[in-house]
Every structure is written in structure tokens, then in C-alpha cells.
Amino acid sequence: MTDVVLIGGGGHASVVASMLGELPGLRLVGYTAPEAHGTLEGVEYLGPDSVLADWEARAGHAPVALALGIGHVGDPAPRQAVTRRMEEAGFQFRSVTARSAWVASSASLGRGTVVMPGAVVNAGARLGAFGIINSNAVVEHGCIVGEHVHLGPGAVVSGDVRIGAGSMIGAGAVVVQGLEVAAGCLVGAGAVVTRSLTEAGVYVGCPARRRRA
């Protein structure tokens, strides 16, 4: 049995908590967050992240594995800071795949990445660390997805697309096959990306156009 602590206490964390609760071989010990959000899907609040600093002394065993439950909608900086700090302190993030998601055996998931209910990650896709593949999102064959990328609920990333670090593809958006989305892009909900996005910025509409930096 592996003990896991969930980092984060918001709505996204509640979904990750419910996913973890269904996985065999894991015991979800609790969640950390700057403030309490009551019990999260029945999971106890442990305190801020700093309570993990003396985990070994309190629990009598090595630090537990962590699951990342902090979301982002276009600004990954807060979660980047937390993951950096926790890794520097020696903790290890594990990837989490919901029971109802599908990840092809030839695909790979970076540490800390969560693949949420109903999502599909198809053959040969390579997902970097700390990604969010949200509910019912599809990552088609051969895609290469950078660190801290969030694919919103129902987003479809067609085959052989490359997505740079920290970008978000909004809910229900589509990226046409073979394109590149640069790091730091926020593609709005429902947009259709028909040409590579080579500059960071916010893109909306069909075809997706740059709205602002």
C-alpha cells in the first residue's frame, strides 16, 4: 500500500481525490492547502504544505508520494513554484490515471501528471511532467506535450501535435493534426486551432486568432 498526500484543496483537487479513492494499492492520507476546505471527498485536511517538512519525524517513515491537485487556467506559475519546492525537499510526485481513462501502453506520462475520468491518451503520445488531461480530453497518437500543460475538459488534440510548456487548451477546443502550439499559449474554450501558434498569447475562435499577449 502506498501512502499518498494530495497537494491542493480546490475543485480540481476534489476530482483528483475522487480518482485516487478508486485506485487500488493507494492510501490517500490527506490533502494540504494554504487553508482548510473541510473534508475533500472524505479526505482529511493536513495543513499547509509546510506540514510535510517534518513528515518523516512524525510518521516514522520516508516521505510519502505526492499527487498534484492544483489546477491552472493559463497561469501555471503558482503550481510550478509548489512542485519545484516539494521536489527540492525530496518528495516525489506520481502520475495518476482515473480508472475510466485510457492510456495506451506505448504512451508515457511524466511525473505528477493527472489523466482524468474519460480522457484518452493514444499510442506513442508523450506527456511531460505535471500535466492535466482533463475529463474526456483526447490526446491523439504521437503528440508531444510539455510540462504543466492543461488540456481542458473535452479538448481534442489531434495526432502528432506538439504543445509547449505551460500552455492551456480550453474546454472543448480542437487542435488540428500535426500543428505546434508554442509554450505559454492559452487557447480559449471552443476554439479551433488550424495553424501553428508560434507566439505565446491568448487565442480564441474558429479559426483561432490571437486576442492578446
Ligand X SMILES: CC(C)(COP(=O)(O)OP(=O)(O)OC[C@H]1O[C@@H](n2cnc3c(N)ncnc32)[C@H](O)[C@@H]1OP(=O)(O)O)[C@@H](O)C(=O)NCCC(=O)NCCS
Asked if 73 is part of the footprint of ligand X (rule: CB under 6 A), the reply reads yes
Asked if 202 is part of the footprint of ligand X (rule: CB under 6 A), the reply reads yes
163 half-sphere exposure, CB direction, 13 A CA radius: 35
Of residues 80-109, those binding ligand X (CB under 6 A): none
The least distance separating ligand X from the CB of residue 123, rounded to whole angstroms, comes to 26
In the list 47, 118, 159, 190, the residue contacting ligand X (rule: CB under 6 A) is: 190
CB-based contact 119:133 (threshold 8 Å):
yes
Among 25-33, 37-45, 140-148, 201-209, which window interacts with ligand X (CB under 6 A)? Answer: 201-209
Cis peptide before 48 (omega within 30 of 0): no
Of residues 103-162, those binding ligand X (CB under 6 A): 134, 152-153
Work out the number of other CB atoms within 10 angstroms of the CB of residue 25. Answer: 7
Among 32-40, 105-113, 141-149, 200-208, which window interacts with ligand X (CB under 6 A)? Answer: 200-208
As beta bridge partners, residue 180 has: 162
Q: Measured from the CB atom, is 9 or 188 closer to ligand X?
A: 188
Helix, strand counts (H, E) of the chain = 3, 24
What are the backbone dihedrals phi and psi of residue 112, each rounded to the nearest 5 degrees, phi first?
Answer: 80, -5
Q: By the criterion CB under 6 A, which residues form the site for ligand X?
A: 73, 134, 152-153, 170-171, 186, 188-191, 202, 204-205
